[in-house]
Structure 1
């Protein structure tokens, strides 16, 4: 790569890195969501079940438990932004990783329920979560990318 090509960082297509990032982000997505929903189950006296993560009928404003599950998804979106900031470290691919995580979640929910999610609230919630994860992740990554870059390793000299 030419040193003067106009790129700040050297980037190369690395499918192995991208796939490992997707797997890690997805694993952390479900781990944190599972912990948050487990806490909401304990608070409301419900027994923990996978359906609380994958069944779109659980997402309802009609019950306190449903509202806590919705809140769990929203808090998990913020956690997802921290994961993007830590693992991806670049603002540009945050949208790709956010959408990929939720598309995989859509496919798993579809498989778990046996039919395509038809609840408007499931779609609204997941679009909100993608948006929160992406925007907050991009913000955190941009803050890191825009930090001053030291030009020397020595102590700052007064001129």
Structure 2
């Protein structure tokens, strides 16, 4: 769990930094934790939203690599985002109350879980040979 949480923040930090450099925005820790940073009013807010969405795809790859079980994808995804909620709550000294923050994080949980489950189930199904011919001569 600690690995997923750390890699989640490494990925999110990387994507925010990358998009800030590309668009010429000023890098700030608020982009990771401040719920007011999630908006579509300007390029800075759109970069934050884009970073979260891209990081959801990255997190699904993390689920596939580290968890490798379809049934556990939802648990790990919700736990990572629950810890992110707690981190945002502590950072802002207030519970996140903006609709955009909640919609974005709900979408990210959904994308991460569905894509992670898709990748894991493909790997699980690949390991099961479904051949109709007998493998042993009796």
Q: TM-score, normalised by structure 2?
A: 0.90
Structure 1 alignment gaps of length 5 or more: 1-21, 151-155
Q: Which has the higher contact order (CA 8 A, sep 6+)?
A: 2
Q: Which residue of 2 aligns with 1:77?
A: 56
Deviations 1:4-49 (A, max 9, x none): xxxxxxxxxxxxxxxxxx1000000000100100012212322321
Deviations 1:80-128 (A, max 9, x none): 0000000000100000000000000000000000000000000000000
Contact 1:40–1:65 (8 Å) recurs in 2: no
Further displaced range: 122-131 or 64-73: 64-73
Structure 2 alignment gaps of length 5 or more: 130-134
CA RMSD, aligned part only?
Answer: 1.7
Q: Which of 14, 17, 40 is the aligned partner of 1:38?
A: 17
Q: TM-score, normalised by structure 1?
A: 0.79
Q: Which of 23, 27, 30 is the aligned partner of 2:2?
A: 23
In the comparison of the two structures, how many residue pairs are matched?
132
Q: Which residue of 2 aligns with 1:146?
A: 125
Relative to its length, the structure with more helix (as a share) is 2
Deviation beyond 3 Å, 4+ runs, structure 1: none
1:60 pairs with 2:60: no
The structure that has the greater radius of gyration is 1
